[in-house]
Amino acid sequence: MSSTTTLDIAPFLSQKSQLWKACGIRGLFPLENIPGMISLLAGRPNPSTFPFESITMKLKPALAGMPTPSRDDDPLNLTLDGDILSEALQYGGTAGLARFIEWLEEFQTHVHKRVRDDTWSVTVGSGSQDLMFKACEALVHEGDSVLVETPVYPGTLGFLAALPCSLIEVHADGQGLNPVNLESILANWETDHPGKRAPKFLYTIPSGSNPTGASIPEHRKVAVLQLARKYNLLVLEDDAYAFLYYGPAGQQARSYFALESEVNAERGRVVRFDSFSKVFSSGMRLGYMTAPPRLAAVVNMITSNTNLQPATLTQVMAYTLLSRWGPAGFLEHCAAVADVYRIRRDAFERVARKHLAGLAEWTTPVAGMFLYIKLLVHADGRAADSHALVTQKAVARGVLAVPGSAFMPGGSATPFVRVSFSLIEEAGAEEACRRLRDVILEARAEAEAEAR
C-alpha cells in the first residue's frame, strides 16, 4: 500500500471554480463548535415557533424486522421529538448533517473496503443529481471535452448541455461501457480533434444503467480504470442503481471507487455518486458524493451560495433509520428492494417474449428497472429510427415509452426504446407489449410497402 499514490485533483478544477467563495455566514459555522463560544451568527429561526410537536415514522412491517436491536419499545415506530426534532427542522451543515456523513463514511468503508483517509470524504446533496451537477460545474472549463457513456441518462445530458464543453460519446453495449471504444477515442484524440485539449473526465453509469439496464463487468471496469490513468481522466461513477442489483449472488462487480487502488495503485481519480432515491424515497431528495476533499470543497461552496444545504429533516429521518439498521440491515433492505425489481423484470420479460418474439430484442438486466428494447422494424435486421414510431404510432395506440434518441447526446437516430418495469403490473405489461407488437407490425408493413 505504501506505493499507492494520490492524484492531485487541483489541475482538473475549472478556473470558474475559483470564483465560488465560502458564504459570509456559513463559512463561519465551524467556529460555533469551539467550546465556550457564544454564537450570534446565523439567522436561524427559533424552533419553539415551529408548529410540529413530534413526527412519527411508522415502518412497514415487512421491512421493519431488521437485525439491529431497537432501544424503542415499538420497533415499527421511530419518533422524532425534542432536541432531535428541533435539529431536524433547523438549518444544518452545508455538506450534510455531521453524524449522517459519519455514518455514510463508515458505510462506504464497509461496502467499498476503502480505508478512511484524507483522499476522500462524503458530501450529502439534495439527490445525487444535485451533486453531479455541482461537481461538473466545478470541473468543466470553457472548451473542455467530456466523455459520456452513450446512451445516457437525459438528466445528466440536460445539465451538461448548459456547460461550455463538448460531449464525446463513448458507446456502450449490453455489457455497459465498452473500454475498446473508450481506448479508440483516446488513442486517436490528437488526430481526430487537432488542437483540442484531451478529455477531462468520463461520466458513466455502471450498474443497471438508465437507459440500457446494462451492468459493466469488473474486467471492463479494470480496463476503464487503466485507460483513465494512462490518459489522465477522472471517472465520474453515477451508481444510482447499485443497490438494485438482483443478479447472481456474489457476482456484483466491485465499484470503480473500490477498485482504483488495486488496479492503478492510486487514489483520488474516481468520484462516486450514490442515491437513496431508489431504496428509501425519491421524494426525500437524498444522495451522496464520495470525492477528493478538494473537489468536495468546491461543491460545498456552490451549495452554500445556492440551495444552502440538503434538507435536514429528510437527513434526520434517513439517519434515524440507518443508525437503527446498521450497514448490514440497510443492505438487507436493499436486497429485499432489489428482489422486488427482479420479480418485476421476470414478469415483464415473460410477456415481452410472448408478444415481441422476432420483433424486438434486448439484454436481460441484472440490476435496475429498465429494459432497453431494440425494435426490429426491418425483418432483415437493418436498424430503423424508433423516434417517430415511439412518439407517434405508439402513443396513438396507447402505449408510452421513451425513444432511444432521448438518450443520445447528439440526438442521433436509434432503433431502441426504453421501457420501465418498476410500476407496471403484469396485466398492464401484457397489454403494453401487445400494443407495442401492433406498432412494430404496422411499421414493418409500411416499410415493406415502401420497399416494393
Residues that bind ligand PLP (CB under 6 A): 127-129, 153, 155, 205, 210, 238, 240, 275, 277, 282, 287
Nearby residues of 339 by Cβ (< 8 Å), 6 or more positions away: 246
Q: Sort residue 3 into left (φ over 0), alpha (ψ -120 to 50) or beta.
A: alpha
Cα four-point dihedral sign 309, 314, 317, 323: negative
In angstroms, what is the minimal distance from the CB of 132 to ligand PLP? 7
Task: Please state the closest distance from residue 362 (CB atom) to ligand PLP, in A.
Answer: 18
Q: Shortest distance, CB of residue 67 to ligand PLP, whole angstroms?
A: 26
In the complex, least distance from residue 71 CB atom to ligand PLP, rounded to whole angstroms: 30
Judged by beta carbon, residue 20 or residue 273, the one nearer ligand PLP is 273
**Which residues fall within 8 angstroms of residue 433, CB to CB, at 6 or more apart?**
351, 352, 354, 355, 356
* In the complex, minimum distance from the CB of residue 144 to ligand PLP, in angstroms, rounded to a whole number: 21
Judge whether 348 and 431 are in contact, CB under 8 Å.
no
Identify which of residues 144 and 237 has a Cβ nearer to ligand PLP in the complex.
237
Among all chains, which residue has been given the C-alpha cell 434518441?
405
Q: For ligand PLP, which is the closer residue by CB, 179 or 208?
A: 208
Burial label, 367 (beta-carbon count in 10 A; 0-12, 13-18, 19+): buried
CB 393 within 8 A of CB 405: no
- CA proximity to 353, closest of 291, 417, 289, 434: 434
Q: Among all chains, which residue has been given the C-alpha cell 435496475?
A: 368
Cβ proximity to ligand PLP: between 103 and 276 the closer is 276
User: Of the two residues 29 and 370, which places its CB atom closer to ligand PLP in the complex?
Assistant: 370
The H or E element containing residue 21 is: none
The smaller minimum CB distance to ligand PLP, of residues 285 and 355, is found at 285
Backbone angles phi, psi at 143, to 5 degrees: 90, 0
Reported as half-sphere exposure (CB side, CA atoms, 13 A), residue 292 has a value of: 20
Contact 432, 420 (CB under 8 A): no
Least separation in angstroms between residue 65's CB and ligand PLP is 27
Distance CA 397, CA 444 (A): 16
Distance CA 276, CA 402 (A): 24
Nearest CB to ligand PLP, comparing residues 207 and 264:
207
CB 244 within 8 A of CB 207: yes
Distance in Å, CB of 44 to ligand PLP, minimum: 27
Q: Which three cell numbers stand for residue 51?
A: 408548529
Judge contact between 115 and 105, C-beta under 8 A: no
Cell numbers 440526438 correspond to what residue? 411
| Nearest approach, Cβ of residue 340 and ligand PLP (Å) | 17
Q: Cite the beta strand spans of 110-199 per DSSP E.
A: 121-125, 144-150, 165-173, 176-177
CB closer to ligand PLP, 275 vs 405: 275
Closest CB to ligand PLP belongs to which residue?
127
Q: Which is nearer to ligand PLP, 359 or 365 (CB)?
A: 365
Non-local (6+) Cβ contacts of 411 within 8 A are: 405
- What contacts 249, CB < 8 A, 6 or more positions away? none
Q: Rank residues 128 and 405 by Cβ distance to ligand PLP and give the closer one.
A: 128
Q: How far is the CB of 153 from ligand PLP (least distance, A)?
A: 4
Q: How far is the CB of 186 from ligand PLP (least distance, A)?
A: 23
Which of 29/362 has CB closer to ligand PLP?
362
Cell 487502488 locates to 261
Least spacing, CB of residue 255 vs ligand PLP, in Å: 14
